[in-house]
Every structure is written in C-alpha cells, then in structure tokens.
C-alpha cells in the first residue's frame, strides 16, 4: 500500500467510523463538526434512493439523526482506488451497516479532493451509493 492508498483508506474508514459514532451513540458535537468539515463546500451525494443531497441537506439530516440508530456499526470492505490525478481521487468501496440484528450493504463510489485543512488531506466532493441486494 503506497502513501496515497493509505491516506484514502484512512479517510474512508475515519468518515464511516464518525458516521457510526454520530448515528449510533450519544456522540459529542465535535463528531458532527468533523463529519461536516470533511465535506467539500460543493459536496453532493446520490443516495440509495437516487435522490441528490447537498452538503447543507446532509448537515440538516445528520443534525436530526444523532443517536437515531443506537449501536450502529459501519464496516468498510473492498476499497479500490479507481483513478487519481492532480488533486482528485476516485474510490469505490463496500459499506456494511449493522443495527439491531440487521445488515445492509451498499457499494459506494466517492470523489475526494486534496485539502490540507483536513486531517487526512482529503475532502469529500461527491458520493454515489448503490444498494446491494441481499438474499
């Protein structure tokens, strides 16, 4: 694993650890602030339902979702860097969300941009989630 791979893996794992912490525990406001700071000002996300969510809308949704899923965990598998060049990295990975004995998986493709103002040096610009059918 080279330095870029390690930075990307760390950024993906840390973001999802923070999301699970925010959604699954009585986390302090600093967790929410970390999540939002890691989002590029032009961030957008296509959720599993196909709706496009802006950074502002994500922030509103997360504000109301603090500890909404007690005990939730999110694991990351199959992380692959699809492309990198200049200040942009495109990565694909599988998210496994577990809560109350249920599990759902989604395949996620994300575009990250270089930004020295965040710990890993990468900010989330775009995310596209696709539900993975179980059965």
Per-residue pLDDT of the chain (135 residues; tens, 9 = 90+): 688 789 999 999 999 999 999 999 999 999 999 999 999 999 999 998 999 999 999 999 999 999 999 999 999 999 999 999 999 999 999 999 999 999 999 999 999 999 988 877 899 999 999 999 876
- What is the 8-class DSSP label of residue 34? H
- Locate 122 and state its tokens: 């990468």
**CA-atom Rg of the chain in angstroms:** 14
Q: What order do you get walking across the sheet with 88-99 strand by strand?
A: 52-54, 39-46, 122-132, 102-114, 88-99, 73-85
Bridge-based pairing of strands 73-85 and 52-54 is: unpaired
Looking at residue 130, its pLDDT comes to 95
CATH topology of domain 3-132: Nuclear Transport Factor 2; Chain: A, (3.10.450)
* Tokens linked to 25: 């525990």
Residue 106 CB-density burial (10 A; 0-12 exposed, 13-18 middle, 19+ buried): middle
Number of H helices, E strands in the chain: 3, 6
């Amino acid at each position: 694993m080279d330095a870029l791979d390690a930075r990307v893996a760390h950024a993906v794992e840390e973001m999802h650890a923070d999301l699970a912490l925010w959604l699954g525990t009585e986390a302090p406001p600093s967790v929410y602030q970390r999540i939002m700071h890691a989002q590029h000002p032009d961030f957008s996300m296509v959720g599993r339902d196909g709706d496009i969510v802006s950074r502002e809308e994500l922030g509103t949704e997360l504000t109301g979702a603090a500890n909404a899923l007690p005990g939730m965990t999110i694991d990351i598998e199959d992380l692959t860097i699809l492309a990198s060049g200049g200040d942009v990295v495109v990565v694909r990975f599988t998210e496994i969300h577990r809560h109350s004995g249920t599990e759902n998986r989604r395949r996620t493709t994300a575009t990250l941009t270089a930004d020295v103002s965040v710990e890993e040096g990468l900010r989330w610009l775009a995310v596209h989630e696709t539900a993975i059918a179980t059965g």
